[in-house]
Amino acid sequence: MEIRCIHTGDLHLGMEFKSASFDKKQANTRRLELWETFNRIIDRCKEIKAHILLIAGDLFEDEYCSVADVKRIDSKFREISNTKIVISTGNHDTLGRRSLYRLIKWSDNVYIFEPNNISKVEFNDINTVIWGLSWDKKLERDSLLDNISTEDTSRLNILLAHGDALSKDSEYLPINKNALINSGFNYVALGHIHKPQFISSSICYCGSPEPLDFGETGSHGIIEGTISLEDTKMSFVPFAKREFIIREIPINENMSYNEIIDRIKSIDDKENRAINLYRGIIKGTRDSQINLNIKDIKEYLHNEFYYIDIIDSTTPDYDLDKIYNENSNNIVGLFIKEMEKQGLDNEIVRDALYYGLEVLLSEKVKR
Ligand SMILES: [Mn+2]
């Protein structure tokens, strides 16, 4: 028997994007896009007639969700009654006594693991045993999965969990990678790390299907494929509506203001700029007489990008010798000498010098 399977998790439905640099409208649009992508995942299960949908925790944000939201999730699950939906909850959708999970009657095709101890659910019609556990707290320092191994190897064994297999002293259910590799599971579906990645050909983090901030660059999606006793063929499928993209924008002191603006526009083609979320970091030396007002630039590029965030990391092209000679007997000259003493090879000292000079010289002009 070969089963068709979709593995997802870390959807964070309900997230409000308050901390991101989005404005109110964009934050709300992004919140709704998470729901949209959840719906598309359910549609994908229909399309490929998935036998199982594995959800590896952080399906929703319990802080921002209501019973209505959980009802809404359940109603989508009811649309795929032929797919078995198995959930191990995570640290954002914990399964404590007062959890939202416990407030509704879930569709018959939904199975949710209880917290703290590993248990298993057996599906005889597809010769499959799924093992897992949920969270009921926000931190979990115990390595609850370390001694786990399969029992009956004539059946498909799948492990589903939310935890950290990448850092040893994690406070988010530390998982010993090597123990897992030798544990005999046909597939291990993990959640918690938002960057999709395979730890081995049959152990995988699905990642967040819709990336949540600039810490989650690169392609995001779901894990899809087939699992049989002979072979596991699960692979990453891009599924995100938008990507977070960070680009460095190199400039030099010979560039005019408009050339810099054009350079920012050129970080991607028009089609991509209309979809993705960009952060441009302007780097290099700029003509000290050019003023890069980030707010104005963002406003100006408003129609060129769906979203752009700009960081100015440039340094002005001050002629230090000339400025010193003109100011050797005042605070500007004194400041340059003092910073030179601290060593201009040090990037922090150099930046401090430039920032200081910018302020001091502009004060001088005012006077
Ligand atoms: Mn998460």
Q: How far apart are CA 213 and CA 309, in angstroms?
A: 12
Compute the distance from residue 317 Cα to the ligand 1 centre, in Å: 44
Compute the distance from residue 58 Cα to the ligand 1 centre, in Å: 5
Question: What is the total count of domains within the chain?
Answer: 2
Query: How wide is the angle at C-alpha 236 spanned by C-alphas 64 and 116, nearest 5°?
Result: 50
For 215-259, what is each residue's pLDDT tens digit? Answer: 999 999 999 999 999 999 999 999 999 999 999 999 999 999 999
User: Is 189 in the same domain as 81?
Assistant: yes
- State mean pLDDT over 52-74: 96
User: Is 233 in the same domain as 360?
Assistant: no
% pLDDT > 70, the chain: 98
User: Is 47 in the same domain as 169?
Assistant: yes
User: Is 195 in the same domain as 313?
Assistant: no
Compute the distance from residue 169 Cα to the ligand 1 centre, in Å: 18
Q: What is the DSSP letter of 89?
A: -
Quick one: tokens of 90? 């995570």
| pLDDT at res. 315 | 85
Compute the distance from residue 228 Cα to the ligand 1 centre, in Å: 28
Domain harbouring 162, CATH code:
3.60.21.10
pLDDT of residue 45 exceeding 90, the answer is yes
**Residue ending a domain, choose from 216, 238, 260:** 238
* Residue 346 banded pLDDT, cuts 50, 70, 90: confident
For 147-183, what is each residue's pLDDT tens digit? Answer: 887 888 899 999 999 999 888 888 888 888 888 888 8
User: Is 201 in the same domain as 324?
Assistant: no
Compute the distance from residue 91 Cα to the ligand 1 centre, in Å: 7
Compute the distance from residue 294 Cα to the ligand 1 centre, in Å: 32
Decide: helix, strand or coil at residue 39.
Answer: helix
Compute the distance from residue 57 Cα to the ligand 1 centre, in Å: 7
Q: What are phi and psi of 265, to 5 degrees?
A: -60, -30
Q: How far apart are CA 236 and CA 266, in angstroms?
A: 29
Compute the distance from residue 136 Cα to the ligand 1 centre, in Å: 15
| pLDDT at res. 365 | 61
| pLDDT at res. 129 | 97
Burial of 15 (0-12, 13-18, 19+ CB in 10 A): buried
Compute the distance from residue 322 Cα to the ligand 1 centre, in Å: 54
User: Is 217 in the same domain as 84?
Assistant: yes
Domain span at residue 316 reads 244-366
Q: How far apart are CA 45 and CA 55, in angstroms?
A: 13
pLDDT of residue 59 exceeding 90, the answer is yes
* Residue 19 banded pLDDT, cuts 50, 70, 90: low
| pLDDT at res. 20 | 61
| pLDDT at res. 74 | 98
- State mean pLDDT over 286-310: 91
User: Is 28 in the same domain as 155?
Assistant: yes
CB atoms within 10 A of CB 16: 14
Q: Which helix (H) or strand (E) holds 190?
A: strand 187-191
Q: How far apart are CA 175 and CA 162, in angstroms?
A: 10
User: Is 71 in the same domain as 164?
Assistant: yes
**Residue ending a domain, choose from 212, 238, 264:** 238
User: Is 98 in the same domain as 223?
Assistant: yes
SS percent in the chain: helix, strand, coil, step 5 = 30, 25, 45
pLDDT of residue 367 exceeding 60, the answer is no
- State mean pLDDT over 187-192: 97
Compute the distance from residue 81 Cα to the ligand 1 centre, in Å: 26
% pLDDT > 90, the chain: 72
CA 102 distance to own-chain centroid: 28
Q: CA-CA distances (angstroms) from residue 365 to 35, 57, 295, 327, 360?
A: 54, 59, 23, 13, 9
Which residues are placed with Cβ below 5 angstroms of ligand 1, an ion?
10, 58
Q: How far apart are CA 240 and CA 104, in angstroms?
A: 29
| pLDDT at res. 306 | 95
Q: Please name which of 284, 335, 340 lies closest in space to residue 312, comparing C-alpha atoms.
A: 284
User: Is 253 in the same domain as 228?
Assistant: no
User: Is 69 in the same domain as 167?
Assistant: yes
Compute the distance from residue 215 Cα to the ligand 1 centre, in Å: 12
Q: How far apart are CA 308 and CA 23, in angstroms?
A: 12
The average confidence (pLDDT) of the chain is 92
Compute the distance from residue 12 Cα to the ligand 1 centre, in Å: 7
Residue pair 10/206 in contact (Cβ under 8 Å)? The answer is yes
Q: Please name which of 286, 258, 293 lies closest in space to residue 354, comparing C-alpha atoms.
A: 286
Q: How far apart are CA 70 and CA 304, in angstroms?
A: 37
User: Is 222 in the same domain as 283?
Assistant: no
Q: Please name which of 339, 288, 294 lies closest in space to residue 312, comparing C-alpha atoms.
A: 294
Compute the distance from residue 244 Cα to the ligand 1 centre, in Å: 17
**Residue ending a domain, choose from 180, 206, 238:** 238
